[in-house]
Amino acid sequence: MRETVMRRRHARGRKTVDLAVRTAASLAALLGIGVLVLILAEVARRGAPALDLAFFTALPGPPGVAGGGLANAILGTLALTAAATAVGVPLGMLAGVYLSEFGRDTRLGAAVRFCVNVLMGLPSILVGLFVWTVLVVPFRSFSGHAGAVALALIMLPVVARTTEDMLALVPHALREGALAVGAPRWRATLIAFKAARGGLVTGVLLAVARVSGETAPLLFTALNSPFWPRSMSEPVANLTVTVFQYAMSPYADWQAKAWGASLLIMAAVLTTSLLARTFARERT
């Protein structure tokens, strides 16, 4: 009888603790969602009025003069992101494939994994400062190439770790089956790569979303420009640096356009994140 009473007391205690933890977790989640909704609503409220046709088609106007748009910054952002993706994604995937398939238990693999982890936690402003030292100072000019390299360095560890983790989830029996029927090692790796393609696409999209809102690296590398992007060898306009400069200006029209650019960046990041979640759900 006494043991039954003790068991009931322990069960009640566990249920009480479980209810308290669930309640705290739910409140924390609601608080985070509430803050996110407030931020999204404020940016949408202030930025939506600035999104007219001229915003997407015209060049910036002179300081203090109302009108103009940020078409050059939109094109420059797309060009920088595309160039960074073309450099960072292949290198990151190759590093992830090596870590998962060939360097899993080697010293070189451990060293590469350590470097990837350090690079992932490195502040983006230090990446920009490094690229500024290597590519901007020697050539005595800011450039889109330097900005793309800085963004690629930020994307690389994200893609590498995602690739390694996704390939690690593929059953080894799949590789062993390919090797058992006489397929070469590269073919077995390609089969595993194909099996993990949903997660790999998710990692790429997350890396793109990661660099979409970066400002500090571009301040040291691509800087900004009031003209159409004509060459990646010269300063290239981009939305994040434009938001920084316009938000700090005393002109109401520039401040309104900064809110509009912020809304555009936020919409792009949300769309990319939703696409990543969609690919992840399809893979599951």
Q: End-to-end distance of the chain based on CA atoms, in angstroms?
A: 48
The answer regarding whether domain 53-283 maps to CATH 1.10.3720.10 reads yes
Q: Which residue has the higher pLDDT, 280 or 117?
A: 117
**Which of the residue ranges 35-44, 113-122, 168-177 would you say has the lowest mean pLDDT?**
168-177
Enumerate the domain spans of the chain.
Answer: 2-50, 53-283
Could you tell me which of 193, 186, 171, 167 has the C-alpha nearest to residue 104?
A: 167
Residue 79 in 3-state DSSP?
A: helix
Phi-psi region of 86 (alpha: psi -120 to 50; beta: other; left: phi over 0): alpha
Helix %, strand %, coil % for the chain, to 5? 80, 0, 20
**pLDDT for 257 beyond 90:** yes
Q: Residues with Cβ < 8 Å from 249, sequence gap 6 or more?
A: 63, 255
**pLDDT for 279 beyond 80:** no
Confidence grade of residue 7 (pLDDT, cut at 50, 70, 90): low
> Per-residue pLDDT tens for 115-139?
999 998 899 999 999 999 999 999 9
Neighbours of 1 (CB within 10 A): 5
Tokens of 32: 């985070």
As a whole number of angstroms, the distance between CA 178 and CA 191 comes to: 8
Distances (CA, A) of 190 to 83, 179, 196, 207: 25, 12, 10, 22
The predicted pLDDT at position 3 comes to 60
The predicted pLDDT at position 219 comes to 94
As a whole number of angstroms, the distance between CA 182 and CA 176 comes to: 10
> Per-residue pLDDT tens for 68-100?
899 999 999 999 999 999 999 999 999 999 998
The predicted pLDDT at position 184 comes to 84
Looking up tokens 């200006």 gives 249
